A and B are shown apart, each in its own frame.
Chain A
Amino acid sequence: MNNRLRALRAELGWSQQVLAEKLEVSRQSVNAIETGRYDPSLPLAFKIARLFGKPIEKIFIDND
């Protein structure tokens, strides 16, 4: 699943570490999600959506 996490993070000038701390996950998790190597669980996806103030479908793009 593709996502706009890196772009949204860049807009706010946050590093992966800063975003990881705000989400209470490891920087490796943020990196894995951004690069599409890991799709987050629904609770984490909601947390990301709340943090950026956007609906989930504006951050995570369903390829199907």
Chain B
Amino acid sequence: MSWWMGCNSAAGKRYRRRAFVSMLLYLVILFSCLKLVKAFPIHGWVLYALAMLPAVPVLAVLVFLARYLREETDEYLRMLTVRSLLVAAGALLATIVVNDFLRVIAHGSAIAPFLCFIVFFMSFGIAQTVQEMASRGAGDE
């Protein structure tokens, strides 16, 4: 996937480096918080702060995506990313709507809300891959 997220562009490389570090931080923070909460009797605002901490690196990835779009100088690669983001946003909204109807009418939730982020990024990746496959071979040299 030579163009995946502007693979060859400086902005794309920066995005991937930032996102990778962020995901590593997410794993470290998540497991640290879980261990802390299990090991010590934490209450009040400290517990709230610990509960919200793992969300920080996850939300940072969205900020990095926005920065990528601002920094990417190749307009075609930027357009492909925006298109993939629209597909991901559609998949995310569809998931939330279906999930909520299941919750309200059938009194059961199909997926945990925090999985929406995974739905978003999986859809984003699939959209990028589909676009790459569609363009592969068309006039390539």
Contact = CB atoms under 8 A, between A and B. Distances in A.
A14 B2 CA distance: 21
A44 B79 CA distance: 14
A28 interface: yes
B61 to A, nearest CB: 23
Say which size band chain B's interface belongs to.
Answer: 10 to 19
Nearest to A23: B74
A40 to B, nearest CB: 7
A32 interface: yes
A28 B3 contact: yes
Contact of B76 (A15, A24, A25): A25
Nearest to A36: B139
Interface string B120-138: 0000000000000001001
B57 interface: no
- Looking at chain B's contact residues, the main secondary structure is loop
A40 B140 contact: no
B12 to A, nearest CB: 9
B74 A29 contact: yes
B138 A31 contact: yes
Say which size band chain A's interface belongs to.
Answer: 20 to 34
A27 B3 CA distance: 9
A52 interface: no
A29 to B, nearest CB: 4
Nearest to A6: B139
B32 interface: no
Interface of B: 2-3, 6, 8-9, 73-77, 79, 135, 138-141
8 contacts: A24-B73, A26-B3, A29-B77, A31-B135, A32-B135, A35-B139, A38-B76, A40-B75
Given A25-B76, A28-B2, A31-B141, 5 more contacts: A17-B141, A25-B75, A31-B139, A32-B135, A35-B139
